[in-house]
Amino acid sequence: MKRPVFWLTFLVTLLLVVSYSLTAHASAPAQGSAFSTPTPLPDGRIIYIVQEGDSCFRISALSGVPIEQIRSLNRLGEDCALRVGQELLLGIGGPSGATPTPETAATATPELQPSPTPPFAGEARVCVVFYEDINGDALRQDTEPLLADGALSISGASGQFSQTANTPGGTDPLCFERVPEGNYNISIAPPENYNPTTQLNHTLTINAGEQVEIIFGAQKAMAELPAQPGETRTGTGSLLGILGAGFLLAGVGLGVFAWRFYGRKSIP
């Protein structure tokens, strides 16, 4: 008798479990169909009022809003605990009753930037090229190097700027930075044993923001110039020696002529 009672009890229990499972699955769609997306408020917010039995998972499944977004918008904790009647912000939409229109992105107005100005407003840069004019043509060639020890002076007519310096030679010109605009006199004195091949003084007007380049040239004095290949150069000493020898020979010739001429006349 005990075996039939056991099996009867087992079948009844199994039927109850299956019936409860089917009822639970059938009730879910009914609850889902009762959910309607809230209408946006005039300020665009979409608010949902929490109902009995609601959870973040259920609201996310029915509304399509991710759980993380629900938590972030409403500052909920990890457990996403809700209370009945709580207002949940699901997102931002358009105002109630308004016809949805494509949202136009606001065009950012670029900030006005000041116009680019020279590094030092109202000032200029003046560079001086002092070169060795090897061929003496007053035109700098690429093969003519810069000269050192030229005494350079730059001074403003109204005293706004005044500096002196020696040219460094090398490959770069001598430059003066932050020179105020105005009228200037720029002059140079060549080093010893050099003669100028260009004018030694320039008077000019310098404007703000300019970069001015002044060129001076000088050539070695003749006695210091090395002889070029195939060139024979006669120095001053050699020329004087030749002239002296000529006068000596002329004197000897005159002496011989006088001896012969006057010596013959004195014979009886």
Condensed to tens digits (0 to 9), the pLDDT of residues 120-144 reads 567 899 999 999 999 989 898 889 9
Q: Enter the tokens of residue 85.
A: 């009647």
Determine phi and psi for 75, rounding to 5 degrees: 55, 50
pLDDT in tens, the chain (268 residues): 456 656 666 766 776 655 655 544 444 444 444 566 677 778 778 888 888 888 888 888 888 889 888 888 888 888 888 889 888 888 876 554 444 454 444 555 445 444 444 445 678 999 999 999 999 898 988 899 999 999 999 999 888 889 899 999 888 899 999 899 899 999 999 998 999 999 999 898 999 888 899 999 999 987 645 555 555 554 555 555 676 666 667 766 666 566 566 555 544 5
Label the pairing between strands 174-180 and 123-132. Answer: antiparallel
The per-residue pLDDT for 98 is: 47
- Give me the pLDDT at residue 260, please: 65
Task: Please state, in angstroms and rounded to a whole number, the distance separating the CA atoms of residues 7 and 189.
Answer: 128
Structure pTM? 0.41
Of all helices (H) and strands (E), which one includes residue 234? none
Query: Cα Rg for the chain, rounded, in angstroms?
Result: 54
Going by C-alpha positions, the residue among 67, 179, 83, 183 that lies closest to residue 127 is 179
Q: Does domain 123-222 bear CATH number 2.60.40.10?
A: yes
Delimit the domains of the chain by residue range.
37-95, 123-222
Q: Buried b / exposed e across 112-125, counting CB within 10 Å, b at 16+? A: eeeeeeeeeeebbb
* Domain 37-95: CATH superfamily, name plus number: LysM domain (3.10.350.10)
pLDDT in tens, 153-179: 999 988 888 989 999 988 889 999 989
